Amino acid sequence: MSIEPFRIAIPDADLDDLHRRLADARWPAQLPGTGWARGVPLEHLRGLAEHWRSGFDWRAQEARLNAFPQFTTEIDGQRIHFLHVRSTRTDATPLLITHGYPSSVAEFLGLIGPLAEDFHLVIPSLPGYAFSTPLSGTGWTMARTARAWAELMRRLGYPRYGVHGGDVGAGISASLAGIDGEHVTGLHVVTDPWTAAATATFIPGMAERLDPNDPVDKLIGDRMDAFRTDGSGYLSIMNSRPQTIGYGLVDSPLLQLAWIAEKFEEWTDLPIDRDQLLTTVSLYWFTGSGAGAAHTLYEQAHSSEWGTPPAVPQGFSVFGADETVRRLIPAPAEANWVEHERGRHFPAMEAPAELAADLRAFFGPRA
């Protein structure tokens, strides 16, 4: 039940080990003319790896993270790490923010300043990610994580709170709103057309419900096909063999870097600073959480517990919006719906000002 203060302090020996591994890395050849078609291009990854080794200042990023109060607690046998930034206003709205994959609490650093005046911010690391490691065992599904979040908010003394998330964080937030609807004031999630189409590939019978003569349905179908044939390889191996890929992710900084850098390239529309990317990769590397994250994705793929549909006010921010999303997202008619032309999978990093404005408008400065 105790909540302990926490500060990030990666040992110098771990930094030296990372730099040595990067300097001694073995590089595969790149087939001529393949570009990004077969994975991260050689020269792109070489540039990132060299900056990670000789130009990236981890200590500056560590200090940036440590500028915000952090804590750990144990819930359901699992160590949980979280940022907890209290507003100076006693009537501020508590807001629980959950990241997805491949991400971390660092995704939300650009939101804290714009929101901290009117919100008490609770930003946990998912079980098995970053400093919520090691993963305590099997069974950490989205629903179980949602129950842990409900307990976390109870321990922090918040009887009423809002929830927000994207990717896996959106699923956890929706599950939490269903599980703890008595205490959740509202559910806000972010999505984009490509994520919505990729998610649709897991809905039984979805492909058969699409009309190939309808241009919107055809676009959805094309994106679903593209995800199945060209975009789901990373998920297939994590959903089936998380232990096997885990060996490489915790032993090779190049693999961990390529694994995440590929998704940042494919899933973003607006540029993300490479130091922001390397901060996320570093959190995975120093904590060995590439394997833990893979195991949680496996759990989600094999779970049949999806919780109770939320019965709280709902808000959606759609980035890179087009006509497909309204057809794919089962949003209630009364839901707050905001569309943005630019941005995609990581709007807290790509468009933090726009996302902060959406959250403030949905939850209200004194909700």
- Chain Cα centroid distance, residue 273: 17
Distance CA 367, CA 365 (A): 6
Whether residue 327 contacts residue 216, with contact meaning beta carbons closer than 8 Å, is answered with yes
Distance CA 183, CA 217 (A): 38
6: part of which helix (H) or strand (E)?
strand 3-6
Give me the residues paired with residue 6 across strands. Answer: 70
Distance CA 296, CA 300 (A): 6
Distance CA 351, CA 111 (A): 10
Query: In this structure, is the dihedral angle defined by the CA atoms of residues 211, 215, 217 and 221, taken in order, positive or negative?
Result: positive
- Classify 105 in phi/psi space as left (phi over 0), alpha (psi -120 to 50) or beta: alpha
Whether residue 47 contacts residue 266, with contact meaning beta carbons closer than 8 Å, is answered with no
Residues, the chain, total? 367
Q: How many CA atoms lie within 13 A of 225 on its CB side?
A: 10
**String of DSSP letters for 77-111:** TEEEEEEEE--S-TTPEEEEEE--TT--GGGGHHH
Whether residue 87 contacts residue 154, with contact meaning beta carbons closer than 8 Å, is answered with no
Angle, vertex CA 142, rays to CA 95 and CA 161, nearest 5: 15
Active site residues: 167, 298, 345
Name the residue among 307, 303, 148 with its Cα closest to residue 239. 303
Name the residue among 178, 170, 177 with its Cα closest to residue 198. 170
Token output for 110: 């650009």
